[in-house]
Structure 1
């Protein structure tokens, strides 16, 4: 009888232990269900034709930044977090001789962006430099989503969508794209915006947010605008958008060619990756489940440089570089086309004072040459220009296309007084 009692006690004890074990399993399952989800967004901007680490004006290597180098960084981040979204904030198809391919079957920028699997591309002001037909031809080669939420057709329809939704690991991310309203001024006097109306990006972002409400878990801006207002004009900087739209979790800025690792305005994180592919912005969003709902738990931002701390630079992705080599060779060939012969003397004298470029402080035959060309082709009464290259030179001998581009790298517009 006593033995039976102990057997019963032992059975009860075993059952109790088993039940206890079963009870302790439940919290661990619940914890797994409530685990965090991390979403990474990478953003490029103002690449300006740097599809490979080469300066086609100089016809020489330039490893300070390019898409092929950024792709090495992007692939590493994607390995760390498969839940990665890639966006571009514009000024993509102008600069570094990439315009050569506007009338070609393919643009190297579109080939690269497709290979890199960009999710969205918000147009910048320089996308409109060549007219709408060229923009349409080039941008239609891109397989991702193109955005320009504050540009409308005259009939009231949007020129391009204001947003797209990208889902990663169950998280729906609304990406809103806007362009600087200054394009109306930049393209004044041309037909590049014919049939289009450029609206206030602050108000258009508000409108896009309302359209996205209830459809996404988080909203991020991809804006071709700088942090601060341009020339003091309200509504031209993303600070104004952040102040008016706290629903945004973060904004990728662009346009001003500045490095902004992380700024916070009205609770909205802002980052800008400088220019020419020297950096890529990174935003990390951490979500958790609370009462069955996804909640943004944490967010942070930074900018990853192509130049390493030891002075070396990130190596190009070899596969992408191979893909782009035909475009590279074509651009180099064009840069070396001889267009004229210079006889007599060099057009820029040696610097009289070391470190002070003569071309910047005195009249030179080179500046006279540019003035004569501008007067002849513009038919204007007065012209002005800036030689923005401290090392400008044009020596006796054959003049190649790259020599002109090297000495006069950026053209501004008309000024009427």
Structure 2
């Protein structure tokens, strides 16, 4: 009987060991824990769906103190056969990514990453197993990289539309392979239960891929959703949470000329592969010492509050971020985004807490924006709220298919009002700068993180606004530098947001 087995991970984001570098003690996550479950033989593949080389404190440390290629070390020990690329893998430029890939034993498949002439750089593959089974594998990555990434980081390459690039290749794989599997670093644009469309952008098109491409299996990524295996348009599909908290096991068996597929997603558990732990132990000790370096001593700890409260009333940590961004940019106003992580500070602040409260590799961008564009953007922000029994609550759409507190902005430097009794698109009822109404045709300078500046979070007006200044220093560095001049958190600027309901 012909058969195969594959193990799948995605969105590891550099979490290689069983720690998130925030909580103490070992946690059930990390590539070393996932790899404990991998059983390799002639009928088995190990595959990753991208976002390998960015995200963890360990990788941030290695950006500043190059030592070993930790991701390649761990993945090679784990025995990965194929990987596709994620959008964050391009964050430090294609040249840096090529260096990482040169250290990997795995074959890279990313069909829609092409040269400037449109020739794919990481073509689809056909793997022939020991029993003669041929499995076709095509990797794809969201083309929203073109929106998010700095053009210099994509020098010499193009990210083509996944569907356009894939159709002819999948047809070839179907003709020459027994089974065709897609690995897509992108997520679902529809609710999988109802089919309701959740997004009209091309960031996530997994549902469409199952409709159009002649696939047997589609392994997705990017949204960090815990999506159990299920059939969509006749294609078996699934998705995993980030930080290697889970892995997927997919099997196929041919019975009476028909292939039957099964899959399950499993927690990685508490046991780490000893060889990976040993290989990374010296580096992890360096990372721990780096994270524990003292930054500041506060008069009092800053407790965490829930996102709904922060979205209405702000928070001392958000005020600190606003102060830092305004000082660095000299802009009229600044945007400060929420965070999916709980935001708090102990009395004794170390680098670990800085990275916990601001985990993004963002820089600071100042743009010139019209009053009209700012108002339109804030209307999208106001969609974060709904009214539930007459009280503000978070719109469930901001939790599905991915939790997106980080796409909610507070504006410091303006007085503004969201009237939640009005429909979205008519909620911004007050917009004032220095005590006067902001007119549609006037302009303000506005500082924001680099993700928002390219329209991330569905803010096209920010993307289209002209750049006044791009500060290349990481925002994390600006936050650390603040304490070189100040020994406590700032008392200004004050948030001036009113919610009516």
Q: What TM-score does the superposition give when structure 2 sets the normalisation length?
A: 0.66
Could you list the per-position Cα deviations for residues 76-102 of structure 1 after superposition, in whole angstroms to 9, with x for gaps in the alignment? xx4xx7521110000111112223324
Find the residue that maps to 2:119 and give its secondary structure: coil
Find the residue that maps to 2:153 and give its secondary structure: coil
Alignment of 1:71-150 (within 5 A): 71-75=35-39, 78=40, 83-97=43-57, 98-102=59-63, 104-150=66-112
Task: Specify which of 317, 328, 331 is matched with residue 284 of structure 2.
Answer: 328
> Residue 298 and residue 357 in structure 1: after superposition, are their counterparts in 2 closer, same or farther (change >3 A)?
closer
Alignment of 1:174-189 (within 5 A): 174-187=136-149, 189=150
- Report the CA distance between 1:227 and its aligned residue: 2.7
* 8 A contact 2:77–2:275 mirrored in 1: no
Matched residues in 2 for 1:204 and 1:130: separation?
25
* 8 A contact 2:307–2:338 mirrored in 1: no
> Residue 144 and residue 266 in structure 1: after superposition, are their counterparts in 2 closer, same or farther (change >3 A)?
same
Could you list the per-position Cα deviations for residues 253-297 of structure 1 after superposition, in whole angstroms to 9, with x for gaps in the alignment? 111111122121222111112221111112111024x6xxxx443
Residues 59-68 or 200-209, more deviating: 59-68
Q: Does 1:346 align with 2:300?
A: yes
Matched residues in 1 for 2:128 and 2:147: separation?
33
- Report the CA distance between 1:166 and its aligned residue: 4.7
Give ranges in structure 1 of 5+ residues lacking alignment: 1-35, 307-312
Matched residues in 1 for 2:3 and 2:157: separation?
39
Alignment of 1:11-410 (within 5 A): 36-56=1-21, 58=22, 60-75=24-39, 78=40, 83-97=43-57, 98-102=59-63, 104-187=66-149, 189-228=150-189, 231-234=199-202, 236-246=204-214, 248-288=215-255, 295-306=257-268, 313-338=269-294, 340-342=295-297, 345-346=299-300, 348=302, 361-388=312-339, 391-397=342-348, 399-410=349-360
Matched residues in 2 for 1:356 and 1:154: separation?
44
Matched residues in 2 for 1:257 and 1:238: separation?
14
Matched residues in 1 for 2:328 and 2:151: separation?
16
> Residue 315 and residue 206 in structure 1: after superposition, are their counterparts in 2 closer, same or farther (change >3 A)?
same
Matched residues in 2 for 1:99 and 1:166: separation?
38
Matched residues in 2 for 1:267 and 1:358: separation?
43
Could you list the per-position Cα deviations for residues 176-195 of structure 1 after superposition, in whole angstroms to 9, with x for gaps in the alignment? 100011111221x4521233
> Residue 134 and residue 169 in structure 1: after superposition, are their counterparts in 2 closer, same or farther (change >3 A)?
same
In the other structure, the counterpart of 1:21 is: none
The count of residues paired between Structure 1 and Structure 2 equals 358
Q: What TM-score does the superposition give when structure 1 sets the normalisation length?
A: 0.78
Find the residue that maps to 1:74 and give its secondary structure: coil
* 8 A contact 2:186–2:203 mirrored in 1: no
Matched residues in 2 for 1:241 and 1:224: separation?
12
Residues 271-280 or 208-217, more deviating: 208-217
Matched residues in 1 for 2:331 and 2:212: separation?
44
> Residue 275 and residue 222 in structure 1: after superposition, are their counterparts in 2 closer, same or farther (change >3 A)?
same
> Residue 245 and residue 336 in structure 1: after superposition, are their counterparts in 2 closer, same or farther (change >3 A)?
same
Give ranges in structure 2 of 5+ residues lacking alignment: 191-197, 363-450, 456-461, 466-501
Matched residues in 2 for 1:227 and 1:364: separation?
33
Structure having the higher Rg: 1
Find the residue that maps to 1:321 and give its secondary structure: helix
Q: Which has the higher strand share?
A: 2
> Residue 369 and residue 162 in structure 1: after superposition, are their counterparts in 2 closer, same or farther (change >3 A)?
same
- Report the CA distance between 1:358 and its aligned residue: 6.5
In the other structure, the counterpart of 1:19 is: none
Matched residues in 1 for 2:303 and 2:206: separation?
45
Aligned-residue CA RMSD (Å): 2.6
- Report the CA distance between 1:43 and its aligned residue: 0.8
> Residue 300 and residue 331 in structure 1: after superposition, are their counterparts in 2 closer, same or farther (change >3 A)?
same
* 8 A contact 2:303–2:345 mirrored in 1: no
The structure 1 segments of at least 4 consecutive aligned residues displaced by more than 6 Å after TM superposition are 355-358
- Report the CA distance between 1:143 and its aligned residue: 0.9
Matched residues in 1 for 2:78 and 2:355: separation?
29
* 8 A contact 2:218–2:238 mirrored in 1: yes
Could you list the per-position Cα deviations for residues 326-357 of structure 1 after superposition, in whole angstroms to 9, with x for gaps in the alignment? 2211221221223x3345x3363686xxx788
Find the residue that maps to 1:184 and give its secondary structure: helix
Q: Does 1:413 align with 2:381?
A: no
Matched residues in 1 for 2:235 and 2:202: separation?
18
